[in-house]
């Protein structure tokens, strides 16, 4: 469904993504593992179009996304939860969740369907829905960011280091929510980045490792690099 083919991208003249290649199939769960600074976020930002590609391409359903501006990509069904949550503090929790639907002017029925999906997977958010987002804890914020990405993208969602900075209990809860999501929506594609491979190994169908902006399928990687990526 979503393919990154030999993509390269630069930030201020420094190449941060080097011929990265990965594919997310319909209903697939893909993990992108790499240390801090390896280029995980840059790959996601390239998929969203925030980084302009200097080579290669990103395709969705076979169509090149080059001419699709970033803000049109959610309309295709791509949702993105940045690592640092980036909720709107002056909105309530629910306003944050509904916001992408409001922007895209989804029909009331479609928005309701997506909100039900979110509250179904993350029921704890429902009780807090009228709280201002500025008052949420880091872990709660991550859950809202996941929910918001689900409202934005109905076909594939990109989660940037969702487990980063979560207390173990919350990380477990977050993992359970993702499993639940997998059960409820079998068509949805998931791309999750993480620096700690052990968190996703049991969960992902496919694992890619990224190092210095270069991706490789995990099977093809020598053990030493894997051990490396465990060290952070």
Q: Where on the chain is the footprint of another protein (CB under 8 A)?
A: 48, 50, 69-75, 79-80, 82, 84-86, 88-91, 95, 99-100, 102-104, 134, 138, 148, 152
Q: How many residues does the chain have?
A: 232
Rounded to the nearest 10 degrees, the angle between the axes of helix 93-103 and helix 108-121 is 140
Using the minimum distance from each CB to another protein, give the nearer residue, 135 or 176. Answer: 135
DSSP 140-182: HHHHHHHHHHHHH-SSEEEESSTTTT--HHHHHHHHHHHHHHH
Using the minimum distance from each CB to another protein, give the nearer residue, 75 or 119. Answer: 75
Minimum gap (Å) between residue 219 Cβ and another protein = 31
Q: What radius of gyration do the chain's Cα atoms show?
A: 17
Using the minimum distance from each CB to another protein, give the nearer residue, 156 or 209. Answer: 156
Distance CA 212, CA 17 (A): 7
Minimum gap (Å) between residue 162 Cβ and another protein = 14
Residues 6+ apart with CB under 8 A from 44: 80, 158, 160, 191, 193
Using the minimum distance from each CB to another protein, give the nearer residue, 158 or 209. Answer: 158
Minimum gap (Å) between residue 87 Cβ and another protein = 8
Using the minimum distance from each CB to another protein, give the nearer residue, 96 or 215. Answer: 96
Distance CA 134, CA 34 (A): 30
Minimum gap (Å) between residue 99 Cβ and another protein = 6
Helix segments in 51-208, DSSP class H: 73-76, 93-103, 108-121, 123-127, 138-152, 168-184
Minimum gap (Å) between residue 137 Cβ and another protein = 11
Minimum gap (Å) between residue 213 Cβ and another protein = 20
Q: How far is CA 125 from CA 13, 14, 21, 180, in A?
A: 42, 40, 35, 15
Distance CA 177, CA 132 (A): 22
Using the minimum distance from each CB to another protein, give the nearer residue, 72 or 179. Answer: 72
């Amino acid at each position: 469904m979503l393919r990154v083919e030999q993509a390269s991208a630069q930030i201020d003249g420094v190449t941060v993504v080097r011929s990265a290649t990965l594919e997310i199939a319909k209903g697939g769960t893909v993990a992108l593992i790499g240390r801090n600074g390896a280029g995980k976020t840059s790959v996601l930002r390239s998929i969203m179009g925030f980084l302009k590609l200097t080579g290669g391409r990103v395709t969705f359903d076979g169509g090149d996304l080059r001419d699709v501006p970033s803000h049109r990509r959610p309309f295709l069904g791509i949702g993105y939860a940045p690592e640092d949550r980036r909720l709107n503090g002056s909105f309530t929790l629910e306003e944050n969740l509904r916001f992408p639907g409001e922007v895209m002017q989804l029909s009331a029925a479609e928005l309701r369907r997506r909100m039900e999906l979110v509250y179904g997977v993350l029921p704890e958010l429902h009780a807090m829905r009228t709280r201002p987002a500025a008052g949420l804890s880091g872990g709660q914020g991550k859950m809202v960011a996941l929910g918001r990405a689900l409202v934005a993208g109905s076909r594939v969602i990109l989660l940037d280091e969702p487990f980063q900075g979560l207390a173990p209990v919350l990380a477990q809860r977050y993992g359970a929510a993702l499993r639940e999501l997998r059960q409820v929506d079998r068509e949805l594609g998931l791309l999750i980045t993480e620096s700690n491979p052990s968190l996703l190994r049991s969960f992902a169908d496919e694992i890619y490792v990224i190092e210095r902006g270069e991706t490789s399928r995990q099977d093809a990687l020598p053990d030493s690099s894997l051990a490396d990526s465990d060290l952070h």
